[in-house]
Amino acid sequence: MRYISTRGQAPALNFEDVLLAGLASDGGLYVPENLPRFTQEEIASWAGLPYHELAFRVMRPFVAGSISDADFKKILEETYATGPDGVFAHAAVAPLRQLDSNEWVLELFHGPTLAFKDFALQLLGRLLDHFLVKRGERVVIMGATSGDTGSAAIEGCKACENVDIFIMHPHNRVSEVQRRQMTTLLGENIHNIAIEGNFDDCQEMVKASFADQGFLKGTRLVAVNSINWARIMAQIVYYFHAALQLGGPARSVAFSVPTGNFGDIFAGYLARNMGLPVSQLIVATNRNDILHRFMSGNRYDKDTLHPTLSPSMDIMVSSNFERLLFDLHGRSGAEVARLMDGFKASGKLAVEDERWTEARRLFDSLAVDDAQTCATIAEVFASTGEVLDPHTAIGVRAARECRRSLAIPMVILGTAHPVKFPDAVLQAGVGRELELPAHLGDLLQRPERCTVLANDLQTVQDFVAAHGNRGKPL
């Protein structure tokens, strides 16, 4: 499989190089040159497969030519292992829980950090290690996090022999559970940095480090944010998994997806293009609704950031939206480059009417504010006794308002465990104590390791250079 850039200028790469590249050299994002398509008979024959075996069948075409079937199978078996020594705490890996008639939550929060990002980052870490050991190369990962991504990335990479990971979070501005999920992982290749600044400061320093890598003395810098193609790829699998549980592909299924950077729902869009019958894809956003404004009014205009009860969806722009623009414009890199240059200059983007009509045919959308989020948590708790996290609650609200057919199963992606967001649950008036799952039961007692650094690029880069080789200088 070859991958091409959404801006048309960077060289085509194979899977291994795309995994290590992150952003393309022309500023675009990598996408498969040709999307694999499965027949209905093929998909039907996968019913009842364990998660890791389904994952092998869905993802195999994407990695073809870069990794042997035997190695890929082994990695997937480890990634999606369950049981006492496994990675995922539920035997079904991604179980469905029924909320109402023909309405289900796909629980994607049984991984080590209790959010769906584990599905992709557990795989990404293992794939990185596989290729780096083969190449005899070491890399440094730098990332910024306001919460979920950092812990999932560290969990995914903690066992990697050839990776040192540096994750910056804004000092004193992430919740205690979220901080501890990062800082209690103590490997010598794990480096948590609390920056005396905000999330944007952290992200700017990551960007600046990618732009000028001299301080790394030749060590490669790798991105693990949602622009990395391997993350999207891993997320395609659970759309197939859910649909097969609910009678697919003979029956079509609808999905409602709590959305920020457009990575998760883009995976659903790809699943549909690969042959999975999906009748509806709903983009569910919080008040940071740039995607809803595009879908409902052809206005992809940058706004200020609004902090909400669903912080993992607090974004100003959606980085993976560019991948959709590429398809909407007949895969013309020149068109996408023109649109993105305009967006960079003006903060505004609109597409031609017929392209926008096509986007509306592909997606429905809704923006849900904090009050509606709390009301939905309360409503679902009253009717089922289930406690939803605020992100999943936004998905449920959007599913209920945008649903086109009661006869078609509606699946809401359950993106996080409610215990990660106790404030929202409390505000919703749910009077049930939430407990940390067994594997995190002593999280609040574990020792932490974290370095507080000034909000200064040079200081951060000096720190990375001094510790980037399993705690020793590069």
Ligand X SMILES: *Cc1c(COP(=O)(O)O)cnc(C)c1O
**CB of residue 231 vs ligand X: minimum separation in angstroms?**
8
Task: Kindly write down the DSSP assignment for every residue of 357-418, as one continuous string.
Answer: HHHHHH-EEEE--HHHHHHHHHHHHHHH-PPPPHHHHHHHHHHHHH---TTS-EEEEE-B-G
Residue 120 within binding range of ligand X, rule CB under 6 A: no
Please select the residue that binds ligand X; options are 164, 264, 314, 322, rule is CB under 6 A: 264
Q: 410 has which bridge partners?
A: 103, 254
Residue 356 within binding range of ligand X, rule CB under 6 A: no
> Which of 189, 308 has the CB closer to ligand X?
308
Please select the residue that binds ligand X; options are 241, 391, 397, 467, rule is CB under 6 A: 391
CB 455 within 8 A of CB 193: no
b vs e for 77-102, b when ≥16 Cβ sit within 10 Å of the residue's Cβ? eebbebeeebbbbeeebbbbeebeeb
Show the tokens assigned to 338: 């023109």
> Which of 264, 327 has the CB closer to ligand X?
264
Residue 313 within binding range of ligand X, rule CB under 6 A: yes
Residue 416 within binding range of ligand X, rule CB under 6 A: yes
Please select the residue that binds ligand X; options are 111, 125, 263, 468, rule is CB under 6 A: 263
| Helix 229-245 vs helix 117-135: crossing angle, to nearest 10 | 130
CB 464 within 8 A of CB 215: yes
CB 155 within 8 A of CB 88: no
The site string for ligand X over 139-158 (x = CB under 6 A, - otherwise) reads ---------x----------
| Contacting residues for 17 by C-beta, under 8 A, at least 6 apart | none
Residue 349 within binding range of ligand X, rule CB under 6 A: no
> Which of 113, 252 has the CB closer to ligand X?
113
Please select the residue that binds ligand X; options are 7, 52, 117, 130, rule is CB under 6 A: 117
Tally of helices (H runs) and strands (E runs) in the chain? 18, 16
Please select the residue that binds ligand X; options are 170, 260, 333, 468, rule is CB under 6 A: 260
**Whole-angstrom Cα distance, residue 149 to residue 133?**
24
Please select the residue that binds ligand X; options are 219, 226, 280, 308, rule is CB under 6 A: 226
Please work out the total of residues on this chain that contact ligand X, with binding judged by CB under 6 A: 16
> Which of 66, 285 has the CB closer to ligand X?
285
Residue 415 within binding range of ligand X, rule CB under 6 A: yes
Residue 209 within binding range of ligand X, rule CB under 6 A: no
Say how far residue 49 (Cα) sits from the centre of its chain.
24
**CB of residue 255 vs ligand X: minimum separation in angstroms?**
13
**Whole-angstrom Cα distance, residue 193 to residue 142?**
10
* Residues annotated as catalytic (active site), given as ranges: 117
**CB of residue 262 vs ligand X: minimum separation in angstroms?**
5
Please state the φ and ψ torsions of residue 464, each to the nearest 5 degrees.
Answer: -65, -45
Please select the residue that binds ligand X; options are 113, 219, 256, 261, rule is CB under 6 A: 261
**Interface with ligand X by CB under 6 A: which residues?**
115, 117, 148, 226, 258-264, 312-313, 391, 415-416
